[in-house]
Structure 1
Amino acid sequence: MGTTRKAQAAMEYLMTYGWAIIIIIIVAAALYYLNVFSPPTTQVASGFTGFTVPTGGWSLSSGGQLTVLLRNAVGSRITVTAMSATISGTTASLTPAPANMTVNNQTTFRTGAADFSSRTAGSAYSGTVTVTYTNTDTGLTFTSTGSLSGAVS
């Protein structure tokens, strides 16, 4: 009779803690899938229509200047008439605008030296960039908005 009770206690122990371990593994897998464990300093550019921003083609300095390298992927000649960025609720214009860009041409745009205030090097940031451009072949005006994130350099 004593062996049966020990076996039952051992089975109850394994079942109770076994389920707890399975739940912990499922939660950890879900968090991994949602990129919770990824460092926030990974550079990501997304959402731009008609433009590409090459990997590593943008930076935010610790002094607060944003630099963005933009490539014309519209398929025709364009003129960038305005470009602005918003980071942490602060909006700033990027120059040079207007800028004429041929197909696949790349142009570097910059904000003022301290438009986004001083930031700690290595800290994460994310923001949106809005580009207003005119297709010089058709005369139509378009707006493209995308997001950028990374680490302050």
Structure 2
Amino acid sequence: MFRKKGQAALEFLMTYGWAILVVLAAIGALAYFGVLSPDRFLPEKCTLPSGIACLDFNWHATDGFTIVIQNAQGFDMATTSITLNGTDCSGTFAVVAGAPGDDDAALVDGEKENYRLTNAGCIGLSGKYKGELSVSYTNQQTGLTHTKSGELIAKTG
């Protein structure tokens, strides 16, 4: 009599054990082929602290990264440097010639400026890129230098 209960329990465990094994194999296959990759679900974004707005950004296979930054500090600022630091791509942005507001490195309050990073390491990227965006500037009224950091997450390739 006790044997029947033991047999039923063993059959129950074996049946559901195989079902769980099949589900785990399916999840493993999806993860292996990249369907469950977290990079696919991360949104693209360019964020900087208040006062300096990253209005837009773009990655192009031959030009690298281009960003549009606006001064919303309430005072004019001289941009010392804008750098991007990441695992595959790092470098310093330069003002894009011929773009609106490319007169000099100074950003008047409310002015927008286009910057481009054409580092050779940034050209052949593929997948998602995540890096730290750092803006160093000098307050034109006080002469003090400040650095603000943000984040750039972009789809490349």
Q: How many residues align?
A: 138
Residue number in structure 1 paired with 2:120: 116
Residue number in structure 2 paired with 1:101: 108
Letter in 2 for 1:92: T
Letter in 2 for 1:43: E
Match 1:149 to one of 139, 150, 153? 153
Structure 1's unaligned 5+ residue stretches are none
Q: Structure 2 vs 1, CA of residues 65 and 12 (structure 1 numbering), >3 Å: closer, same or farther?
A: closer
Q: CA deviation at 1:41?
A: 7.2
Q: CA deviation at 1:11?
A: 4.2
Q: Equivalents in 1 of 2:149, 2:14: separation in Å?
A: 56
Q: Equivalents in 2 of 1:108, 1:64: separation in Å?
A: 13
Q: CA deviation at 1:106?
A: 2.3
Q: Structure 2 vs 1, CA of residues 129 and 77 (structure 1 numbering), >3 Å: closer, same or farther?
A: same
Q: Equivalents in 1 of 2:141, 2:154: separation in Å?
A: 35
Matched position secondary structure for 1:75: coil
Q: Equivalents in 2 of 1:132, 1:148: separation in Å?
A: 16
Residue number in structure 2 paired with 1:135: 139
Q: CA deviation at 1:144?
A: 1.3
Q: CA deviation at 1:82?
A: 2.3
Q: Residues 47-82 of structure 1: CA distance to partner in whole angstroms, max 9, x if unpaired?
A: 54532213xx11121114321111223233322232
Letter in 1 for 2:135: V
Letter in 2 for 1:127: G
TM-score normalised per structure 1: 0.64
Q: CA deviation at 1:124?
A: 2.8
Q: Structure 2 vs 1, CA of residues 123 and 17 (structure 1 numbering), >3 Å: closer, same or farther?
A: closer
Alignment of 1:40-119 (within 5 A): 42-48=43-49, 50-54=51-55, 57-87=56-86, 88-95=88-95, 98-103=105-110, 105-111=111-117, 114-117=118-121, 118-119=123-124
Identity, % of aligned positions: 17
Residue number in structure 1 paired with 2:98: none
RMSD of aligned alpha carbons? 3.6
Matched position secondary structure for 1:8: helix
Contact residue 64 and residue 119 of structure 1 kept, 8 A: no
Q: Equivalents in 2 of 1:142, 1:79: separation in Å?
A: 10
Q: Residues 1-60 of structure 1: CA distance to partner in whole angstroms, max 9, x if unpaired?
A: 264343332444467568x58xx6xx99xx9xxx94341774122354532213xx1112
Contact residue 46 and residue 153 of structure 2 kept, 8 A: yes
Residue number in structure 1 paired with 2:8: 7
Matched position secondary structure for 2:38: coil
